[in-house]
Chain A
């Protein structure tokens, strides 16, 4: 009996070890950390280097950033604009065996990539960040994202996309000159808008320790202040007073 019990404990410990071994340290690659996009000379994504369909041409001609760029409203970039953007705002990646979480600074896009082999829900409603499934091919994480709202655009120039767009990303890490790099090969397939798939590579440099701002909060706070100041509302003064009197009372 004693031997059986010890056997159970031993088996449990062994299993524990196996479960542990399946954890991040044993993943094919570790993408976790804070990364900042680095723009290269050929990184521009313009109407000149993509093959627009007639429908895309019409959409692009009507593009007015004041009304059609979500970021002007402190709304998210949306996928894949969040990874396509070369603006110097960091992205933080949290990696677990069953999911990868990407937290983009500034507008607070949070992407969840499911690695647990789940199926896509039906129906799949379009969202800003889409529905992302991932799997490992060697040391490369391959992510396929579907169901992206047509309200988002691909870049600041207003390149449009349809809700049938399919985005496949291949993420890998490498070390060069003592610096860790994250490479994201992005392939955008959207026959309604582009005659041929768009293929772009984005690179990110590891900047662990770089402070992250508080996402959409910083955007909203700036807008809120502007709102108050441009409309000369007495609220600003009242807020200051209120904060002042609270502080006065506290001291």
Chain B
């Protein structure tokens, strides 16, 4: 190694320590993921990130196909998004375009604020376990920890019986979130998801999704019932405020 290379290596090490020093000293972990991120269908190699087919158990596949046929024939009735109801985990993490999410990393917490549906996902980093007797929710209950520079999040207690993709009450989602570089050396956020749900899948379902830094842009105001509110204001009120029928 030349002297120059030595100096450079030490300088780079120093910079790494500086970056880690900032995040560490603030008590928010080794890496700061804070900022606005836009999901993308393209992986770091620039190719389309194809998601695998869910390894549904045969009986679940049959039930899902039947549901799908009914829903496709009557989208108004079956698509909960049309009633302004949010996605359930892991769907908010699997968008591939258009709606960004903001990560706010603070002491003991990582918070994700999704523009779509204005959803808020809280990840507790203070070492707690999920409380007993939790009421299942749309976002579930998430606890996380750091493994090196990777944020590992485990989500359980996701609401059951929702419209859409089936899942059992014991579904557990493990996510590994980390910063990676794409082929052009641009930073991306990678989310590697493993969904364990023996009631639904014959084996753990593995997926990956990617996000690009969306610097200088803030999360917009997304209020699903805005159209109906506007119709109401223009004197054309729907009898059912959140459904236009």
Residues of A with Cβ closer than 8 Å to B?
A: 1, 4-6, 8-9, 11-13, 15-17, 19-21, 23-25, 32, 67, 70, 72-76, 94-96, 99, 101, 103, 108, 110, 112, 127-129, 151, 212, 214-217, 220-221, 223-224, 227, 231, 233, 235, 238-239, 242-243, 245-251
10 contacts between A and B (CB under 8 A): A1-B7, A12-B21, A15-B18, A16-B17, A25-B107, A96-B34, A96-B104, A127-B221, A217-B138, A233-B77
Q: Is the CB of B111 within 8 A of A214?
A: no
- Given A94-B104, A220-B83, A242-B67: A231 touches B109 (CB 8 Å cut-off): no
Whether B116 is near chain A, meaning CB under 8 Å from some CB there, is no
Whether B24 is near chain A, meaning CB under 8 Å from some CB there, is yes
Q: Taking the nearest CB of chain A, how far is it from the CB of B69, in angstroms? A: 11
Q: Which of B122, B161, B219 contacts A243 (CB 8 A)?
A: B161
Instruction: Classify the secondary structure of B's interface with A.
Output: mixed
Given A96-B106, A103-B111, 5 other A-B contacts at CB below 8 A?
A: A16-B19, A128-B221, A214-B120, A224-B242, A246-B67
- Given A94-B104, A242-B163: A67 touches B199 (CB 8 Å cut-off): no
Residues of B with Cβ closer than 8 Å to A?
A: 3, 6-7, 10-11, 13-15, 17-22, 24-28, 34, 57, 59-60, 62-64, 66-67, 70, 77-78, 83-86, 104-107, 109, 111, 113, 117-120, 122, 137-139, 160-163, 166, 168, 199-200, 218-219, 221, 223-226, 228-229, 232-233, 237, 240-243
Q: Is the CB of B25 within 8 A of A223?
A: no
Q: Which of A1, A20, A235 contacts B24 (CB 8 A)?
A: A20
Q: How many A-B residue pairs have CB under 8 A?
A: 193
Q: Which of A94, A231, A247, A248 contacts B111 (CB 8 A)?
A: A94
Cα of A187 to Cα of B218 in the assembled complex, Å: 26
Chain B neighbourhood of A23, CB < 8 A: 22, 25-28
Q: Is the CB of B240 within 8 A of A5?
A: no
Q: Which of A24, A221, A247, A248 contacts B106 (CB 8 A)?
A: A24
